[in-house]
Amino acid sequence: MRTRLVPAAGMAALTLAAALPAVPAHAEPAPRPHPAAAPQAGKGVRLHTNAELAAALRRIARASHGRVKVRSVGTSNEGRPLWFVTLGNGPRRLLYVTQQHGDEPLATESAISAVRDLGLGNGRAARHLRSKITLGVLVRANPDGHERNWRYNYDPDAKPEYGEPGKGYDINRYHDPAVRPEDNPVPEAAAIQRTYAAFRPSIVVDYHMQGRYAFPPPDGREITTSIQWPTAAGVPADAVRRSKQVAVRMNQAFTRAGAVVSQYPGGSYQGIARNAYGLRGSASLLVELSDLPPERQRFQVRTAHLSMVDLAFAAGTGALDRIDPARADAIPPRGPELPGARSAHDHGHGHDNAA
Ligand SMILES: [Zn+2]
């Protein structure tokens, strides 16, 4: 997708659904417009610039009295920090990753508000949750790609097997467990590999964006979210089973938030994060938010936010472990692309277009 997301008049404070445990949402002033942002008015979500993202995360950390920690776990080729936010001190460890593809930004906005809610909430539910889980969020894994509003990292001299010469690598093809971080040509992917190894999450969720699709008639509804578990050969059966439990729970959380969910027709290449972290034994899930029109971007941000918060609670309470994983197979396959809705996102180069 190459759609430049346009600034909105202001980003509404995101609030948790009433169905969720009571964790207060904390309003935050909308960031100032990006000087390079398109000048026209629009209803789209106002995205944090890289500098604003750093400032927002620092503000949350400061306000949390030590409950939220923010640190850089690496740098992009242009020297931008890769921010890793952690909260909680419980035994169940979850890792969320957003925006490996620079032009798929919405879940980064969701992550900021999810971290704020889960980290700053001081009610009984939030405090209890933080004793049950440790959440790590690698927010905006591709800041150089974000800066350019393109899919790849920035490495114009690269001759990438997966990526585009003159631009850079497709970060989400360089998680192969057989490739050590020190041999990884993609610093952002290497940082995620290292973070994974040090953090040892039992659950990994990787947030992306896709084009626009609908279920075939007579259903005909537009799909707002597609999800998939690891499909590479060699993923341990137990990891697949736990990934499917995550898929079932995420399907419920998104659906309850008003989303229309399908499976994602992803491939089996082991360099894709969804497959790679399944191969390494974690429950692993890909989430693809559809590239809906600007007036529905806030909805997309909210649904992903709710999914992040809900999964944390499901893992913390143990509800996740009681789910029948076979129910994941009933999530319907993705339908055809909407006419006229083709986006560059669906035509990435290399293995397994998109994702
Ligand atoms: Zn993607």
The per-residue pLDDT for range 287-298, each reduced to its tens digit, is 999 999 999 999
203-257 pLDDT per residue, tens: 999 999 999 999 999 999 999 999 999 999 999 999 999 999 999 999 999 999 9
CA of 233 to the centre of ligand 1 (A): 21
- Name the β-bridge partners of 81: 75
CA of 102 to the centre of ligand 1 (A): 8
Q: Classify residue 45: in a domain, yes or no.
A: no
CA of 271 to the centre of ligand 1 (A): 13
Q: Classify residue 27: in a domain, yes or no.
A: no
User: Residue 113 above 90 pLDDT?
Assistant: yes
Helices (H), 149-214: 187-199
Query: Rounded mean pLDDT of 29-56?
Result: 69
User: Residue 141 above 70 pLDDT?
Assistant: yes
CA of 293 to the centre of ligand 1 (A): 18
Q: Classify residue 23: in a domain, yes or no.
A: no
Neighbours of ion ligand 1 (CB under 5 A): 101, 104, 208
State the CATH number of the domain containing residue 299. 3.40.630.10
Catalytically annotated residue among 78, 288, 295, 337: 288
- For the chain, the average pLDDT equals 89
73 vs 3, residue with greater confidence: 73
Label residue 15 by pLDDT band (50, 70, 90): very low
> Which secondary structure element, helix H or strand E, spans residue 241, and what is its range?
helix 237-256
CA–CA separation, 143 and 77 (whole Å): 10
User: Residue 160 above 80 pLDDT?
Assistant: yes
Q: Classify residue 109: in a domain, yes or no.
A: yes
Q: Classify residue 114: in a domain, yes or no.
A: yes
Per the structure, the count of domains in the chain is 1
Domain extent at residue 335 = 50-347
pLDDT at 150: 98
Q: Classify residue 273: in a domain, yes or no.
A: yes
Q: Classify residue 319: in a domain, yes or no.
A: yes
CA of 145 to the centre of ligand 1 (A): 12
Q: Classify residue 159: in a domain, yes or no.
A: yes
78 vs 1, residue with greater confidence: 78
Tell me if residue 161 is catalytic.
no
User: Residue 6 above 90 pLDDT?
Assistant: no
pLDDT at 100: 98
CA–CA separation, 98 and 96 (whole Å): 7
CA of 101 to the centre of ligand 1 (A): 5
Residue 283 CA: distances (Å) to CA of 30, 236, 277, 337: 35, 10, 8, 29
CA of 295 to the centre of ligand 1 (A): 21
User: Residue 32 above 60 pLDDT?
Assistant: no
